[in-house]
Chain A
Amino acid sequence: MSTPFHVFDIARTSEMLEPVDFNRRDRLTHVDRCFPAEIVNVIRLTGSEKLFQLRIVDRAERERFRFKAGQFVMVEVPGYGEIPISISSSPSKPDILELCIRRAGVVTGALHRARRGATVGIRGPFGSHFPMASMRGHSVLLIAGGLGLAPLRSAIYDTIDHRSEFADVRILYGTGDPGNLLFDYQYDEWRRIDDIDLQVIVERPDDAWTGPVGMITDLLDRIELDPARTFAIVCGPPVMFRFVCARLSEAGMPMQRMLVSLERRMHCGMGKCCRCNVGSTFTCLDGPVFDFWTVMNLKEAI
């Protein structure tokens, strides 16, 4: 009689033979396979943050890689570990990915020591994105505190790339010390674009600082907004977005039109390791981008 035991070779099932595509999240795929990506340039931003420009080495994989503003990738530094990092560049230029990375520990430390020409691994893109399509036709308020400018920059680019489809565009950015301002070399470029209003505020000015001083909410007090036709994206630490969103609510903005990005520990990006769980929601699948109403309703979110 024949044996009931037949080897089931998963790597040979038809789906697994298809190219890896993390955007098709319900399909069986090599979930742990990363795309080798070359560090094309390293740009020093501040004492602890660098911008890495990456290009996926394989051409077919590079052409398949598409993302939306607000999504993140898992960056693999072989031998060191794998970490979630928001994509900081324009979704219309997916060939060169830009990641703004703060030196915070083992993996980010290794990245900060890496030089151009080195190869890291990329898995993704993962997670939810800013609802840029629904935002069209509205005014947008893009607000960031500290490292929050990293994910917000992708939304800024998306807005600029489709400028005529939005009404007023305002960018508000705040940080502690002027020395920690990210992408300061780009402010002039953004300001020169017709009808983009960029304001930067610091809490602890140095002698050279001539701009406004205070908290990010101080900038909000100075602007007029039409709550009925505005969307806001708020990226930064929880204390910051809680204050900002409270202020926007007072001004009459519906909570569903305020988008925030949450940060949690992540070890998979695929709803499997549970590390990013908030209440009963996986930040890597249903987030990192949530509207503020959802965040308010997530137990233990803020």
Chain B
Amino acid sequence: MLFRTLPKDGLRVLVEQMIGEVEVIGPTRVADRADGRPIHHFLPVASFDDIDLGYETTEYSAKTYFLPFVESLSTFSFDAEGWRQEIRYELEPRAIVGLHACDVNGLLKLDKVLARDHYPSPYYIARRRNTFVVGIDHEPCDGGFCRSVHADTVTRGCDLFLTDLGDRYFVAIGSDRGYSAMQRVGSSEVSERDSDDYLEVRRHLAAIEQPAIPVHHLPNILDLEFSSELWARWGGRCLSCGTCAMVCPTCYCYGVTERVSMDFARGRKLKRLYSCNLVDFAEVAGGHNFRPDRETRLKYRYYHQHRGFVEEHDEPKCVGCNRCGRACLSGINPVEVIRDLQTEERA
């Protein structure tokens, strides 16, 4: 990575320039809770002032801009000759400003599955490559445990990453287009004072208290506790609503359905993000369901996050953002479930 510094109003210039050229997405304050805490969403913005870079967290991650909740995979046109399949990929350049480290790391995890593994997905790669990502450092959010899953810092995966040094930003440049963007605004070489200030901020962020949950031995623990009654305890509360997967920056599973237009001239193959907690996730023809009860489905979600993904990619499929924990109406949250797993006493 190359480093530069950018005066505070340089960022405004940069973002306003982008807004003039492409769609820009940023954390936007959409409402306040009863207790006064704000609610933020990643939404398209019309000006730099719409963006609230001081946001703590968003209810939904920004994954929808890479993996839309509903996406058309292909369309079919029908006529007397038969059918023809047409495929279009997303080609509109876009910028997302203000992703926190966890969300940039979430994208890196999605990259592993969707851009690099077997059968790289052109739908995802097209969106990813056409999206300019600007990340920003922040103080850990309430209930987050990003440090435990090594998702609190960013070394790659975005075009620019900003750290607030008070009167200026310290900018890590992660791509050539990030570099050209910095060329367009008045950025400067990094001085010794800049580096010192940057390291000071890093030390400050690292010193902030956060729940610490060791996850490196979870693959074994999960096997050991496969039949533990703790799954019934937590699973018994699960509403099988799928919210946790929807808000999660790294959940990518889906279902495919087809729709036909009223005049039977066109068909559409739709991909919809799904959740392994939904009742028919593993149901096959004939009605057999491989995971009929909610506790096995909930267990499976933790299995994929902390065992399956680790086996394949040597890291958990969780960035510790605690969005799932905050969104769950039943109070099922990863910190407590994982702590429970680790302290489970077996008879």
Does B associate with A? Answer: yes
Give the nearest-CB partner of B308 in chain A: A280
A121-B85, A263-B284, A274-B276 are known; give 12 further A-B pairs, CB within 8 A: A8-B91, A10-B125, A28-B122, A28-B125, A30-B87, A32-B123, A81-B258, A119-B82, A265-B284, A267-B255, A270-B119, A280-B311
Give the nearest-CB partner of A35 in chain B: B85
A105-B285, A264-B290, A272-B252 known; A279 vs B122 contact (CB < 8 Å): no
Stretch from B44-52, B135-143, B177-185, B205-213 at the A interface? B177-185
A10-B122, A10-B126, A280-B308 known; A272 vs B114 contact (CB < 8 Å): yes
Which A111-161 residues sit within 8 Å CB-CB of chain B? Answer: 118-119, 121
Does A170 touch B at the CB level, under 8 Å? no
Does B73 touch A at the CB level, under 8 Å? yes
Chain B interface mostly helix, strand, loop or mixed? Answer: mixed
| Structural contact, A2 and B85, CB atoms closer than 8 A | no
Q: How far is the CB of B118 from chain A (nearest CB, A)?
A: 4
Does A25 touch B at the CB level, under 8 Å? yes
In Å, the complex CA distance between A26 and B78 comes to 32
- What residues of chain B lie closer than 8 Å to A27, measured between beta carbons? 120
Give the nearest-CB partner of A3 in chain B: B21
- What residues of chain B lie closer than 8 Å to A47, measured between beta carbons? none
- What residues of chain A lie closer than 8 Å to B282, measured between beta carbons? 264-265, 275
A78-B83, A78-B258 known; A5 vs B93 contact (CB < 8 Å): yes
Does B150 touch A at the CB level, under 8 Å? no
Q: How far is the CB of A72 from chain B (nearest CB, A)?
A: 14
We find that the number of chain B residues with CB closer than 8 angstroms to chain A is 69
Q: How far is the CB of B320 from chain A (nearest CB, A)?
A: 20
Which B266-300 residues sit within 8 Å CB-CB of chain A? Answer: 267, 269, 274, 276, 281-286, 290-291, 296, 300
Does A36 touch B at the CB level, under 8 Å? yes
In Å, the complex CA distance between A27 and B118 comes to 8
Within 8 Å by CB of B118, from A9, A25, A81, lies: A25
Does A223 touch B at the CB level, under 8 Å? no
A-B contact pairs, 8 of them (CB 8 A): A28-B120, A32-B269, A36-B82, A80-B258, A105-B285, A119-B83, A270-B118, A275-B281
Does B254 touch A at the CB level, under 8 Å? yes
Within 8 Å by CB of A273, from B91, B183, B255, lies: B255
Interface centre among A29, A264, A272, A285 (most CB of B within 10 A): A272
In Å, the complex CA distance between A83 and B123 comes to 21
Which A1-19 residues sit within 8 Å CB-CB of chain B? Answer: 1-11, 16
Interface centre among B119, B255, B258 (most CB of A within 10 A): B119
Which A213-259 residues sit within 8 Å CB-CB of chain B? Answer: none
- What residues of chain B lie closer than 8 Å to A263, measured between beta carbons? 284
In Å, the complex CA distance between A30 and B85 comes to 12
Does B55 touch A at the CB level, under 8 Å? no
| Structural contact, A81 and B177, CB atoms closer than 8 A | no
Give the nearest-CB partner of B86 in chain A: A33
- What residues of chain B lie closer than 8 Å to A275, measured between beta carbons? 253, 255, 274, 281-282
Give the nearest-CB partner of B116 in chain A: A26
Q: How far is the CB of B233 from chain A (nearest CB, A)?
A: 19
Does B169 touch A at the CB level, under 8 Å? no
Does A268 touch B at the CB level, under 8 Å? yes
A11-B89, A31-B119 known; A81 vs B304 contact (CB < 8 Å): no
Q: How far is the CB of A62 from chain B (nearest CB, A)?
A: 17
| Structural contact, A79 and B258, CB atoms closer than 8 A | yes
Give the nearest-CB partner of A276 in chain B: B282
Does A299 touch B at the CB level, under 8 Å? yes
List the interface of chain A (C-beta within 8 A of B): 1-11, 16, 25-34, 36, 78-82, 104-105, 108, 118-119, 121, 263-265, 267-268, 270-275, 277-281, 285, 299-300
- What residues of chain B lie closer than 8 Å to A271, measured between beta carbons? 113, 117-119
Which B139-190 residues sit within 8 Å CB-CB of chain A? Answer: 159, 177-178, 180-181, 183-184
In Å, the complex CA distance between A66 and B267 comes to 29
In Å, the complex CA distance between A137 and B269 comes to 46
Within 8 Å by CB of A279, from B113, B286, B308, lies: B308
| Structural contact, B226 and A30, CB atoms closer than 8 A | no
| Structural contact, A26 and B121, CB atoms closer than 8 A | no
Q: Which 3 A-B pairs have the closest CB atoms?
A: A280-B308, A274-B253, A270-B119
- What residues of chain A lie closer than 8 Å to B125, measured between beta carbons? 10, 28
- What residues of chain B lie closer than 8 Å to A80, measured between beta carbons? 258
Does B132 touch A at the CB level, under 8 Å? yes
Q: How far is the CB of A22 from chain B (nearest CB, A)?
A: 8
| Structural contact, B269 and A4, CB atoms closer than 8 A | no
- What residues of chain A lie closer than 8 Å to B333, measured between beta carbons? none
- What residues of chain B lie closer than 8 Å to A5, measured between beta carbons? 18, 21-22, 93, 95, 132, 177
| Structural contact, A272 and B130, CB atoms closer than 8 A | no
Q: How far is the CB of A195 from chain B (nearest CB, A)?
A: 37
Does B240 touch A at the CB level, under 8 Å? no
Q: How far is the CB of A58 from chain B (nearest CB, A)?
A: 13
| Structural contact, A4 and B87, CB atoms closer than 8 A | no
- What residues of chain A lie closer than 8 Å to B85, measured between beta carbons? 33-34, 78, 121
In Å, the complex CA distance between A274 and B286 comes to 20
Q: How far is the CB of B276 from chain A (nearest CB, A)?
A: 7
In Å, the complex CA distance between A108 and B122 comes to 29
| Structural contact, A6 and B281, CB atoms closer than 8 A | no
- What residues of chain B lie closer than 8 Å to A279, measured between beta carbons? 303, 307-308
Q: How far is the CB of A296 from chain B (nearest CB, A)?
A: 14
Contact string, B63-92, partner A, CB cutoff 8 A, digits 1/0?
A: 000000000011010100011010101011
Does B2 touch A at the CB level, under 8 Å? no
In Å, the complex CA distance between A16 and B129 comes to 15
In Å, the complex CA distance between A2 and B177 comes to 10
A8-B91, A263-B284 known; A30 vs B122 contact (CB < 8 Å): yes
Give the nearest-CB partner of B180 in chain A: A4
